[in-house]
Amino acid sequence: MAARTRIYLDHNAGAPMRRQVVECVRDLVGVTGNASSVHAEGRAARARIEAARADVAALAGVPAPQVTFTSGASEANVTALSPVWRKGRGELRFSRLLVAASEHASVLSGGRFAKDSVETLAVDGEGVIDLAALEARLGDLSSAGETVLVSVMAANNETGVIQPLAEVGRLVEAAGALLHVDAVQVAGRRFIDMEAWKAASLSLSAHKIGGPQGAGALVTRQAGLKPLPLLTGGGQEHWDRAGTENVAAIAGFGVAASLAATELGTFGEIAALRDGLEQDVRHISGNARVFGQGAERLANTSCLALPGVSAETALIALDLDGVAVSSGSACSSGKVGVSHVLTTMGVDEALARCALRVSLGPATTRAEIEEFLAALRRISDRVLGKTGAGRAA
């Protein structure tokens, strides 16, 4: 009997590696050559890195020299969240870091800032940053003579809620501050526009767009304005990140970036799938909740809950049924707990414990959605009963 094909609906945690990326990485894994060496093997490795840099830069809309490869987006975020940046031949020092309350853990940790220098900015019930509060706090800090770095993600990894970065960037620039953007979830799903966002830097991750795990990038908008390196001791990455480059992973990142750039026009179809999924979930339970639905969201992401059906119960049952989803950030979902994102949105703890994240990809089909919904209905029937509270008529 043939094994059942599993259904993967957790693209925000990590997209399946693209066939072309697999081929690229496989071809390079056994190849000899350090990209810092001057011999032919070293030059060949360097060529693969620079080709990837050009492809990632094109996805981000910047010149290639403004891309620094890292081990992932977490490293890129921590690098960017530095109290000291280089500006030309001088330095720019920040006394305060402001981060949105719904940020990824690698940003909420404050990077290299002292803990008492980090402040969180409120989000509303949909998960959108409070622009008035941001403007007021920037004004207060500016009047007090403080220099400020602000970090706001482009789109939330759990709810898909998109932040108004053009407005955020305008406020940050007007206050003489700098903006860093965690752009991991928008890459390949929406156009990146650092100029419109007034973003000084942004972070990217390869495995969110079908590249290898273990590769990411810090991208800067202006030449000569960048954070001090996190890893020092070698001249790799133009002295911006020491350590021998992972040629295979970086080359695979480049292939994934090039392919992702061609898919930006397909997300209308994915949004239709997502919207249909949410509508059908309400037929399973009339009390079903979709978080962040009142805000602009990524086309592929739905964070939903069936009250009374815990995420832990649903995740285990869905997995046994051959369906992979998550309950929140992949960095914390090894232990099913209450999402800090939903908490900052004011969601009741009991309801937050029922939250599931379903994230689709370019290859997701309606048939796969139907199988997920059938499995979810079986779970709901088992936990709540076929005539349980909340069943839609």
Residues marked active site are found at 331
- 3-state helix, strand, coil split of the chain in percent (to 5) is 40, 15, 45
Comparing C-alpha atoms, which of 124, 120, 117, 179 is closest to residue 154? 179
Burial class for 205, CB neighbours closer than 10 Å (0-12, 13-18, 19+): buried
Tally Cβ neighbours within 10 Å of residue 161. 28
DSSP letter at 10 equals B
Q: From CA 77, how far away is CA 107, in angstroms rounded?
A: 6
Comparing C-alpha atoms, which of 258, 192, 254, 240 is closest to residue 68? 240
Residue whose entry in the numeric block shows the structure tokens 């304005």: 225
DSSP letter at 130 equals -
Reduced to 3 states (helix: H, G, I; strand: E, B; else coil), residue 247 is helix
Q: Residue 273 carries which side chain, given as an amino acid letter?
A: L
The three-state DSSP-derived secondary structure of 155-212 is ECCCCCEECCHHHHHHHHHHCCCEEEEECCCCCCCCCCCHHHHCCCEEEEECHHHCCC
Residue whose entry in the numeric block shows the structure tokens 């996190």: 230
Bridge partners (DSSP) of residue 205 are 216
Q: What is the sign of the dihedral through the CA atoms of 266, 74, 203 and 329?
A: positive
Bridge partners (DSSP) of residue 99 are 120, 151
Which tokens sit at 349? Answer: 């703890």
List Cβ neighbours of 110 (8 Å cut-off, separation of 6 or more): 81, 97, 99, 117, 118
The values of phi and psi at residue 117, to 5°, are -100, 0
List Cβ neighbours of 284 (8 Å cut-off, separation of 6 or more): 306, 373, 376, 377, 380, 391, 392
